Chains A and B, each alone.
Chain A
Amino acid sequence: MSDTVTIRALATLAPYAPPGGVASVGPGETAGELADRLGIEGEALGAVLINGNPATLETPLSPGDVVSFVPPITGG
């Protein structure tokens, strides 16, 4: 497994996804640090999921993770 994570950036966050939806991840890098690197600001973010599980910005990433960034969604 290479030292990359797959990124799914939904709705308004889609433009922040890197080309190909894959980003490198450094040792001990957290979801929040990755969000910062991608330019996603805290207020634009509703939830972070790692491998389909709710996570926090402090959750460290592992190579091979699937990281989903979801904005606040409340419409109808």
Chain B
Amino acid sequence: MPDTALLAALRTASCERPYPDGRAGRFLDAAAVAGLARDFALAPRRVEIAALDSGICPLRYARNLTAFSMAEQARLLASKAALVGLGGLGGGLLENLVRAGVGVIHAADGDVFEESNLNRQLLSRLDALGRPKAALAAERAAAVNPSVEFVAQAAFLDRAGMDALLDGAQVAVDALGGLADRPALVAAAAGLGIALVTGAVAGYTAIVATVLPGGPSPADLFGGSGGTAAEDVLGCPSPAVMAVAALQASEAIRLLAGRKPALAGKALIIDLETMRFDTIVLEPGPSPGKAG
């Protein structure tokens, strides 16, 4: 429970105004969050959690309500997500997780931005070519929501590195490209007993799924047998990458808010050419590609 001095300060620093739907509300703006964090030597997200616990909504989340209740918003701020990859999917995911107010995000990507990233990678910019993706991600997170405790390693992770990154997280998010590192990430999440929200794109076709520990992974079904990956032929256009990042983010945020996954043991197959979305049930078993 927050102390009485903090509660009193929250009342004084917040102001009354209506929610967009007309309900009465009490809100705390970003400057007040920063000021109280300084005055009480608290992390900003702790100020926001205390506010939410006493019925005061940080203004930046006013439009999250009632998509998330105050209790769920507080739970998001108290949660940790692990994000592996800060490229196309990772940039879009980070944007969504940071704006949602996921309290702690630990991420990793050993790459630097190059010109061919500019077609789709949200964090890439012409003036940041050659700079580490992890550094741009940290700048973006701090600029959008300083309440998020974001730590990014400029490193490609091996299995041990993934174990360390995922430690203490409630959800792991797969924003890797290619197939090489995905089995290690599936194993790391399973080893820690947490859900992994995964996504992949090729052209305007994409897959999103949630892998529960020991459960089926879409990589078993859609990973292929080492032939040419479809994205090497079709590329990864921005609308498909952003759509998948948003879908992964909605599932990750749902889990971090304490709700049940929508895609556990399933895969959402997206075809933006025809705007067809199909959810299939994954079953463990051999890939037909391997049989051929």
Contact = CB atoms under 8 A, between A and B. Distances in A.
A56 B283 CA distance: 11
A65 to B, nearest CB: 14
Nearest to A13: B230
Nearest to A66: B278
Interface residues of B, number: 56
Contacts of B205: 10-11, 70, 73
Contact of B291 (A11, A49, A56): A56
A75 B179 CA distance: 8
A74 B200 contact: yes
Interface stretch (B10-18, B83-91, B96-104, B163-171): B83-91
Contacts of A44: 227-228, 289
B201 A45 contact: no
Nearest to B199: A76
A56 B285 contact: yes
Among B88, B241, B288, residue most surrounded by chain A Cβ atoms (within 10 Å): B288
B3 interface: no
A75 to B, nearest CB: 3
Most buried by B among A12, A54, A57: A54
Interface in B190-234: 199-207, 219, 221-234
Nearest to B216: A54
A14 B230 CA distance: 11
Interface residues of A, number: 32
B66 to A, nearest CB: 32
Given A74-B178, A74-B229, A75-B230, A31 B273 contact: no
A40 to B, nearest CB: 9
A27 interface: no
Interface string B13-26: 00000000000000
A48 B288 contact: yes
Contact of A49 (B85, B232, B280): B280
A1 to B, nearest CB: 21
A47 B177 CA distance: 19
Contacts of A46: 221-224, 230, 287, 289
Closest 6 CB pairs of A and B: A42-B292, A72-B224, A75-B231, A43-B227, A11-B205, A76-B177
